[in-house]
Every structure is written in structure tokens, then in C-alpha cells.
Structure 1
């Protein structure tokens, strides 16, 4: 597979990688690292939690860095063995060629990672784009899944395109062309994404991702009911009422139609990025779900 780069410059890549390393230093637990060769390219993985713990794959959100997503689910690390890959084609240490989230490629990629660790089946958590990847696995390799937790998931139903253009795309264009006002536009975007609750460390990283990364613009395929005919694992959806990309009022209705084995839908008054307070509630819901279904 030909080598390509999602980074706009060598300096940009250096900055994003430094953010990645700085984020790992904030963790109160040890993280192992592994590189795995797959047919889609080399994949960098973070591993944490007790080796004897039940395996739990956590898939990062799109256009962000793996440790940021992993930090959201830190309360799970005491009990579960966490496998968190850097998504190929997204910021991080994995190869940078894009994989389409339309067909079975991501399902095959995850299966290869699971095979490397001799994991037959396991639980999955994915926010946003990561949830869209999990839905591709559910469509093509459902026997690999014991259960899944989809947080503000891509791959089910989109929010208003008008609102996304007005509140995300236009400020992003202005952020990139008006350097004197870039902070104002970054604040506008991150406040919309997080309900005014984004941590400064995350805001800084997202600003640099906007500056230095060729963003992934292709959303995961919207999943059809027929694709999940053989997927019967318990599934929990966590949705945000104020999520500009996948708002609960649109998402939950379609999710119930598409995922026949949807165990529960939990809705929070949050944006696409959960606040620290919401993460406490979300992790409690996830723990309860995993205790019951895994």
C-alpha cells in the first residue's frame, strides 16, 4: 500500500505526536505500546489494565488522538484489559493511509488485531467515528462481538447539515484563514462540540489538528437494518441532546429501528464531547451494562 500522509507538514506531525505523548503522561496508570502489522498497514496500539482482565476494545473518535478518547473511559481500566488502536489514517502513530468506513475494511482490520492477541470475541466501546467502525464490525463480523457500547455514534443518523455548516464548517474556514481571530473561532467550534465544557488540553489539541491535519471528511456509512440481521449482541447507545453531529432526537429513533437487539439508550444533556461530570455518569452506565452483559 502506498505511503501517504495526513499531516500538512513535518512540524505539524511533530506537534501532534508531542500532544499524544503529553496526554499519556497525564494518565495515572501504566500504558503498554505495541505495533502490529495488518493488511491495511502498521497499527500502533495502547494497552492498559490487568492482563487477566476481560478484553475490551476502545476505538478512538475521528480526527482526534487515541489518548484523548482513552482518557474518557479510564474508570474501566481497573477491571478490563484495554486494547486501544490508533485508527489507521487518523492522527497518531499508525500508518496514515485512509481506510473507507463504507465496506468491510475496518471489520477486517479489527479482526486482524484481535487475531494477533488471540481474542476470539470481546466487548467494544467507540465514540463517534469509533462507533461507526464498530457498526461495520457488527455488519460483517458479528461473531467477534460479545457486546458493544456506542457513544454519540456515527453510522446511524446525521444531524442537521445546515447547523453543521453554520456552526462548525464556516467557523473552521475562518479559523484557518484569519489567524488574528483564530482563537475566537476555535472557541466557537469547541463550545458547540462540547456544550461549553471542553478541557483546555483538548481544545489546544483540536486547534492543532485543525491546523496541521488533512481532516477525514468521509463519515462512516449509515448502517441499514438488513446489514445487522446476524448481529444479536447486547448494545448500549449513549447519546447527547445537544450533539450537533448526531443529536439524540434524530439518532435514537433510527437506532431503535436499525439495531433490533438494542438493550438500552441513555440520553444526556451534553454535546458531542462529554463534560467531566457527564463522563462520571456515562462510565457508571457502562460499568453496569458490562457487569450485566459481559
Structure 2
């Protein structure tokens, strides 16, 4: 586990954390904010919704935090007991500890969190890196999972090399490169000012992970028994959604997939597809 900070400077860390705190002031109310102590790092969790309803865990993507679920959480909280979890080692409020992708580290961490929350079985809605963690958890602890939603998930196909190229260009080209990368990541989606401000802060002050996420084997995917819903954009700059959908359908018996036209890696406004899947 890396011990050095995931931020370039302490001032940069505070700028990102302050921005995040401001965003959370708009989270659905009532909301409980808590830190859970785990052997792999303190974990920040936002809890909202109906306490006697089925549990849902929300897992964000890399270089992000639970603020990405703001709009979805407001709707989900009408029907479910919602827990948005900041992944350790990312730019939320959880510990800066970066876990290895091997040796069950993320699954063990998530299991500790779920046990602390007294959740016996849960659905997971996940994005990108969060999708990789959700898949890994469904493989390792199938008895604790009842549904899995994967949005633009990692772990099924290899990352596109052209995106790696543009990430390198961005690091060398300042604002111009950043604008170009945003165009690639968001596609035709209009970027709101809050998202743009946060993305700019992350670019300036956050140190992203550079190690590749392992790809799950067919044998591993075939161990997943819960129903799975995949939603991806046809123009996803990181992963080929059509290939992701095909592998999931071929290896998971209860997999349903949806590839969205004119959509990139950032997928929004799909809650009306997700809720019927959760309720079915």
C-alpha cells in the first residue's frame, strides 16, 4: 500500500475536500455522514433513504467521490436505504490508502464496511472503478449480493490505448490538453459548471493511479450468480461497451446489457432504467 499522499500538495488536498463538502450540502436530507474504521483505512459513508427498505451501496469511479451520485441518490432514497461509499485511495473523504488490486483487498475492505453497517444482503450500483470492485465482491462474496448495476465498468475489456495517449498529452499540455480530454470523456454530454470545477481541481492537485486494473477471466465471471445490469456508452473512450456487453452476456446467466447511442464514458439519467431492474 502506498504511504505517500495521493495529492500533490496539502493545499491542493484542501481545495478538493472543500469543494466536495460544498457539494454534499445539497445531498438528499435527512442524511447521516459517518466514518467507518476498517483494517484497510477509515471509510466515509453517506446514509439516506428508508431505514427499513432494501439496502443499496453506491460505488463511484476513479478520481471521483460520492458526489457523483447526488441526483440518483435523491430518487433512490424514496425507495431504498442508500449508502454512498467513498472508495479508499480516491479523492473523497476516506483514507488515502491505495489497496492492491489483487489479493482480495478491495473485497475485504467492502465486506468490513457492509458488516459494520449491518447489511446482510445488498444491491450495488457502481461506476467504472467502482464496477470493478462490485464485480470482484460479487465473485468473492456471492451470498452478500442480490443485484449488481455496472455503469461504464472496468474489468471486462482492456482500456483503449488512445485514451492512455490523451491522458499523457493532458499532463503535458495544461488547460488545452485538459479541455480536449474532457471532450473525449464526456462526448456530446454538456458539462455542468460544478463537474467542470471539480474535474479541474482533480487535474491540478490529485495524483491518479497508473497501474492497470486486472481483467476478470471467463471463469471468474461465471461465478457471479446475482442478476447484473450493464449500461455503457457506444462512444466510451476507456472501454468498448459493445465488447463489455458481449462478455457479460456470454458468461453471466442473469446479465442484461444496454449500450447507449451518442453516449461516452460519463453516463447520466439512467435511474429510470435502474429502478425497474432493482425492483424486478
Structure 1 and Structure 2 fold alike (TM over 0.5)? yes
3-state SS of 1:82 partner: strand
2:82 match? 82
Give the aligned partner of residue 169 of structure 2.
Answer: 170
The alpha-carbon deviation at position 168 of structure 1 amounts to 3.3
Give the match for residue 178 of structure 1: none
Shifted more, 138-147 versus 27-36: the winner is 27-36
Question: Which position in structure 2 is the counterpart of 1:195?
Answer: 187
Q: Distance in 2 between matches of 1:150 and 1:52?
A: 25
Alpha-carbon distance, 1:105 to partner: 1.0
- Contact 1:70–1:84 under 8 Å retained in 2: no
Contact 1:58 1:125 in 2 (8 A): yes
Counterparts of 1:66 and 1:219, CA distance in 2: 22
> 1:246 Cα shift?
1.5
For residues 147-162 of structure 1, the aligned pairs below 5 Å read 147-161=147-161
Aligned to 1:121: 121
- Cα offsets for 1:78-126 (capped at 9, x unmatched): 1111111111111121111101223311111111111111111110010
Q: What residue in structure 2 maps to residue 59 of structure 1?
A: 59
Asked if structure 2 preserves the Cα contact closer than 8 Å seen for 1:240 and 1:272, the reply is yes
Residue by residue over 1:159-184, the C-alpha shift from the partner in whole angstroms, topping out at 9 and shown as x without a partner, is 421x2134333123312xxxxxx1x3
Q: Which deviates further from its counterpart, 58-67 or 24-33?
A: 24-33
Equivalences for 1:1-40 in 2 at 5 Å?
Answer: 3-40=3-40
Q: Name the CA distance, whole Å, in 1 between partners of 2:157 and 2:74.
A: 28
Question: In the alignment, what sits opposite 1:235?
Answer: 228
CA distance in 2, matches of 1:250, 1:3: 36
Task: State TM-score, norm by structure 1.
Answer: 0.89
Q: CA deviation at 1:70?
A: 4.2
Offset of residue 224 of structure 1: 1.1
The answer to whether the Cα contact below 8 Å between 2:28 and 2:73 also exists between their aligned partners in 1 is no
1:155–1:219 Cα contact (<8 Å) kept: no
Question: Which SS does the other structure have where 1:231 is aligned?
Answer: coil
Aligned to 1:179: none
Work out the CA distance in 2 between the residues paired with 1:80 and 1:114. 16
Is 1:224 aligned with 2:223?
no
**Paired position in structure 1 for 2:201:** 208
Taking only aligned residues, the RMSD between alpha carbons, in angstroms, comes to 1.8
Q: Counterparts of 2:251 and 2:100 in 1: how far apart (Å)? A: 21
Correspondences of 1:207-286 after superposition (within 5 Å): 207-262=200-255, 264-269=256-261, 270-274=263-267, 279-280=268-269, 282-286=270-274
- DSSP-derived class of the 1:125 partner: strand
Q: Judging changes above 3 Å, is the alpha-carbon distance between structure 1 residues 70 and 106 closer, same or farther for their aligned structure 2 residues?
A: farther
Paired with 2:181 and 2:2, the residues of 1 have a C-alpha distance of: 34
Alignment partners' CA distance in 2, 1:271 and 1:73: 22
Q: Deviations over 1:225-264 (max 9, x none)?
A: 21234321000000110110122222222222333331x1
Alignment gaps of 5+ in structure 1? 176-181
Between the aligned partners of 1:257 and 1:174, the Cα distance in structure 2 is 41
Report if aligned partners of 2:154, 2:213 keep a CA contact under 8 Å in 1. yes
- Equivalenced residue count is 278
In structure 2, what is the equivalent of residue 138 of structure 1? 138
